[in-house]
């Protein structure tokens, strides 16, 4: 039992630290989101892989909105995904902002065949093609009758060796690799991105790319300075649901509950975590955690909290069943936690937690 609690404790600790920082940055977020300061709401579609951590953007918490699924595979036709995305889009529009969706696939610059995206069998061309096709769909879906648009989309590659982003144009195959921009000032960066996207994006959208492109440069310079070797999987947490943007680098596989292949995504994540334990990347005594969570708005009172709790419990039951079936060898290491996340503070409230072996 003692051994199993350690990853769980780390999860609680990580969330508490993030939540404190999130609350501290409330006024900053309010200022940042003013349409006259940053007229673009930025949403990120990203792989569930723990190496695709929101940390790579180097932004204060809550500024960017994340959706996570294996392989950065999304479809606006999915029943659970469309309402979530539409809420975000309409909320931004109501506040006088336009939207930019950034689709992030990932690869390893040093060892693409081994350290790439598991959902695309480490085929980085397939991963790129998948994000490109979704970008094209968004461009076509969000064109208004008069040819204008309030939503733009771009794709980026993430080199998980150094956490560096590579911007890609929609047409012509040109790339802008931030690894080549490490010594740019923010002004140089704004100029370079402006030139790069001149015929694809309005300049005010490009200006709202600069803060997180600049955050990413700082991040990758720090990673380089720390001498971190190219990283494989290291996750000890399978996190399912929403409100889970607070996990750090390589801590958790985060699966949004959107895809019709949700169960398959959970099975892939469970195999990765089991592999991490068997290979000794995650100490056996540390244990693994299956966390299911759903966010709630405190203004919705008890009914809102209870409904979030029902949702999280539902995700947990589905995911537990998948783990028992797909990776029975993981069960002895797995601690299951169900929680709800306060949307105003991002604080996780654990509703129940138990070793998976215990039938409750």
Q: How far apart are CA 259 and CA 117, in angstroms?
A: 17
Residue 129 CB, shortest distance to Zn ion, in Å, is 14
# chain residues binding Zn ion, by CB under 5 A = 4
Could you give the CA distance from residue 353 to residue 197 in angstroms, rounded to a whole number? 48
The dihedral built from the CA positions of residue 238, 241, 245 and 246, taken in this order, carries a sign that is negative
Q: Does 55 bind Zn ion (CB under 5 A)?
A: no
- Residue range at the interface with Zn ion (CB under 5 A); choices 46-54, 93-101, 177-185, 346-354: 46-54
The rounded distance, in Å, linking the Cα atoms of 339 and 320 is 15
Judged by beta carbon, residue 115 or residue 206, the one nearer Zn ion is 115
Torsion of CA 354, 358, 359, 360, to 10 degrees: -40
Q: Does the footprint of Zn ion cover residue 190 (CB under 5 A)?
A: no
In the bound complex, what is the minimum distance in angstroms from residue 254's beta carbon to Zn ion? 11
Q: Note whether 47 binds Zn ion by CB under 5 A.
A: yes
Choices 87-95, 116-124, 130-138, 316-324 (CB under 5 A): range interacting with Zn ion = 116-124
The yes or no reply on residue 49 touching Zn ion (CB under 5 A) is: yes
State which residue, 261 or 355, has the beta carbon closest to Zn ion. 261
Site string for Zn ion, 118-157 (x = CB under 5 A): -x--------------------------------------
Stretch of 8-16, 117-125, 269-277, 287-295 contacting Zn ion, by CB under 5 A: 117-125
User: How far apart (Å, rounded) are the C-alpha atoms in residues 336 and 83?
Assistant: 28
Q: Is 11 in the site for Zn ion (CB under 5 A)?
A: no
- Cα torsion angle, 79, 84, 88, 90, sign: positive
Is residue 141 packed enough to be buried (19+ CB in 10 Å), middle (13-18) or exposed (0-12)? exposed
Distance CA 109, CA 334 (A): 33
Nearest residue (CB) to Zn ion, 49 versus 342: 49
H or E element: which one contains 327? none
If we measure between CA atoms, which residue out of 114, 115, 116 comes closest to residue 125?
116
Stretch that binds Zn ion, among 39-47, 73-81, 181-189, 246-254 (CB under 5 A): 39-47
Considering the rule CB under 5 A, would residue 356 count as an interface residue with Zn ion?
no
Quick check: 117 binds Zn ion (CB under 5 A)? yes
Q: How far is the CB of 235 from Zn ion (least distance, A)?
A: 12
Rounded to whole angstroms, the Cα distance separating 219 from 15 reads 21
Residues that bind Zn ion (CB under 5 A): 47, 49, 117, 119
């Amino acid at each position: 039992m003692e051994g199993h609690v350690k990853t769980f404790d780390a999860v609680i600790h990580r969330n508490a630290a993030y939540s404190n920082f999130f609350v501290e940055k409330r006024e900053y977020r309010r200022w940042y989101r003013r349409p006259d300061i940053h007229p673009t709401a930025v949403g990120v579609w990203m792989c569930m892989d723990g190496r695709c951590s929101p940390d790579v953007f180097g932004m204060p918490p809550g500024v960017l909105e994340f959706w996570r699924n294996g392989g950065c595979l999304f479809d606006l036709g999915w029943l659970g995904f469309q309402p979530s995305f539409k809420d975000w889009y309409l909320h931004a529009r109501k506040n006088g902002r336009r939207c930019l969706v950034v689709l992030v696939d990932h690869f390893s610059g040093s060892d693409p065949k081994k350290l790439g995206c598991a959902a695309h069998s480490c085929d980085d061309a397939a991963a790129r093609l998948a994000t490109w096709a979704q970008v094209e769909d968004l461009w076509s879906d969000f064109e208004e009758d008069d040819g204008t648009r309030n939503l733009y989309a771009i794709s980026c590659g993430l080199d998980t060796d150094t956490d560096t982003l590579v911007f890609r144009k929609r047409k012509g195959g040109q790339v802008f690799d931030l690894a080549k921009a490490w010594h740019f000032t923010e002004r140089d960066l704004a100029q370079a991105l402006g030139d790069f996207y001149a015929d694809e994006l309005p300049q005010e959208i490009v200006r709202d790319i600069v803060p997180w492109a600049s955050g990413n440069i700082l991040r990758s310079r720090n990673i380089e300075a720390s001498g971190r070797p190219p990283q494989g999987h290291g996750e000890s947490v399978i996190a399912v649901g929403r409100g889970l943007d607070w996990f750090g680098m390589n801590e958790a596989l985060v699966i949004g509950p959107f895809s019709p292949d949700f169960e398959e995504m959970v099975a892939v994540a469970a195999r990765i975590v089991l592999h991490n334990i068997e290979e000794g990347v995650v100490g056996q005594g540390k244990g693994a955690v299956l966390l299911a969570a759903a966010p709630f708005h405190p203004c919705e009172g008890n009914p809102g909290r209870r409904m979030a709790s029902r949702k999280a419990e539902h995700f947990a039951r589905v995911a537990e069943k998948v783990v028992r079936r797909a990776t029975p060898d993981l069960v002895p290491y797995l601690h299951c936690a169900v929680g709800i996340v306060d949307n105003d503070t991002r604080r996780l409230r654990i509703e129940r937690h138990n070793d998976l072996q215990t039938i409750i």
